[in-house]
Amino acid sequence: MMQDDTNGESSFEFVERKIEGISLVDNAMRQEVPLGASLIPPSMATQGLGGVEPPSALPSFIEPSPRPSIDNTTAATSATSGTSTASSDPSSYNPAASAFYPKTFSPVIPASKGSDASLSTVDSNLETDPNAGVSSQLLGWVKGAVGGSAGILSRVTEKAKSSMNSMITTLDPQMKEFIYSGGAVDIVVASDKEIKISPVREAFQSVFGKATVTGLQVNTSTVAAAQPVGFAAGVKAAEERISAVRSAHNIPPEQTVLAVENFLVEIGENKWFDVGVLILSDPAREITLETFTQLTPVPAAVVSLAQEDTPAEYPLRWSGLSVTVGSIMANNLQVPHSEWHQALTGVSRREMILLAAKILAGLYKSSVGPIL
């Protein structure tokens, strides 16, 4: 409260005012409160702040795992002796060693190893050493993924070998014959012409992986070897080549022999085509297979010239001609005798024989099954 003095100066004076009732501070100082006692009223201490009860515990949705039963006699004996068993101590409980432990699928084991034998191995490991389950499964996965015929190392080796073979055969195509020769397939081609031997070799090696294909020169005398005409004459000429090569070179009876023969065929009126037949003979397995190449059209004028150049007294005229249409076509197209198919149609004779030989090799593989 401010008051004025006589000299005109202002001064302050504290005037004590009485407050009705006793303040909390005065009351606390006047009462004897023990040291360390709480000043919170008992009603608030029991009911909490605002009178709200403490929160209850959250519900648990995790079902407890089954615990093995403990024999009362064993528990009592352990308690008396002062020792505790592994089953009665919660900290030492091992679910892998328990009879209630479920044997579920482990992603560590690959699908290819999910056989009964591998499962039994894992079970035996768990029985002998419960802690060795994961390690044994991991070792089994590593063994199956890395080793074996389908393992990573095997695939890497095969890939490196294939890449090396491709590089070698690209630099030197003749090395393909030596790299892929061998195996259980051994075929003799009744011809010494490379245009017949090389496509047959390539076809059988591509189908079987490895195959030995060689050619032997042979001459026929019962069929017009120069230019057979008609399907019957063409098939007969190929069969004659197989018989002639066996007798001329003393080939064993069980040896597989293949013959390639081209012939003329008339389909429709004055429509001539050149076609090749491939016959495979395997007496040991009693297998005889045949297939044909793509038909190549031949001008009727060329066939007429070949007929005119064949003498009337030619003894094998019933089966064909003494002059090949290939020689006439080569002269007209100004190309070698073996390249007139390529010059006329854009597809070489080797490609035609190769495609037919692949079909024949596939049929042969299906016939022999897992033998080769």
For the chain, the structural domain boundaries read: 181-297+348-368
pLDDT digits (tens, 9 = 90+) for 127-157: 555 555 556 666 666 566 555 555 566 666 6
**Which of 215, 285, 281 has its CA nearest to residue 243?**
281
The pLDDT score that the predictor gives to residue 293 is 96
pLDDT digits (tens, 9 = 90+) for 358-368: 999 999 999 98
pLDDT digits (tens, 9 = 90+) for 9-57: 555 454 445 444 444 445 545 555 555 555 555 555 555 455 556 666 6
Burial class (CB in 10 A: 0-12, 13-18, 19+), 211: buried
At residue 251, does pLDDT exceed 50?
A: yes
SS3 101: coil
Please name the helix (run of DSSP H) or strand (run of DSSP E) that holds residue 150, with its range, or none.
none
The 10 Å Cβ neighbour count of residue 212 is 17
At residue 191, does pLDDT exceed 50?
A: yes
The pLDDT score that the predictor gives to residue 100 is 46
When pLDDT is cut at 50, 70 and 90, the band that residue 99 belongs to is very low
At residue 82, does pLDDT exceed 50?
A: no
> What does the pLDDT average to over 348-370?
93
What's the mean pLDDT when you consider all of the chain? 73
> What does the pLDDT average to over 343-352?
95
* Token output for 111: 């699908």
The pLDDT score that the predictor gives to residue 157 is 62
Contacts of 360 (CB under 8 A, 6+ apart): 203, 258, 278, 280, 289, 290, 291
SS3 42: helix
Give the C-alpha distances (Å, rounded to integers) separating 106 from 114, 116, 138, 205.
Answer: 10, 14, 10, 43
Please name the helix (run of DSSP H) or strand (run of DSSP E) that holds residue 279, with its range, or none.
strand 272-282
> What does the pLDDT average to over 195-224?
90
* Token output for 358: 């692949």
At residue 6, does pLDDT exceed 90?
A: no
* Phi, psi dihedrals of residue 29, rounded to the nearest 5°: -75, -30
At residue 88, does pLDDT exceed 80?
A: no
> What does the pLDDT average to over 96-120?
49
When pLDDT is cut at 50, 70 and 90, the band that residue 126 belongs to is very low
Whether the Cβ atoms of residue 272 and residue 266 lie closer than 8 Å to each other: yes
DSSP string, 67-100: -----HHHHHHHHHHT---TTT-GGG--GGGSTT
CATH fit for domain 181-297+348-368, picks 3.40.50.300, 3.90.950.10, 3.10.129.10, 3.90.1150.10: 3.90.950.10
Output DSSP code: residue 209. Answer: S
When pLDDT is cut at 50, 70 and 90, the band that residue 225 belongs to is confident
Amino acid at 372: L
The pLDDT score that the predictor gives to residue 165 is 54
pLDDT digits (tens, 9 = 90+) for 326-335: 999 999 999 9
User: How much of the chain exceeds pLDDT 70, in percent?
Assistant: 50
What is the rounded CA–CA span in Å between residue 258 and residue 256? Answer: 7
The pLDDT score that the predictor gives to residue 190 is 95
> What does the pLDDT average to over 296-303?
94
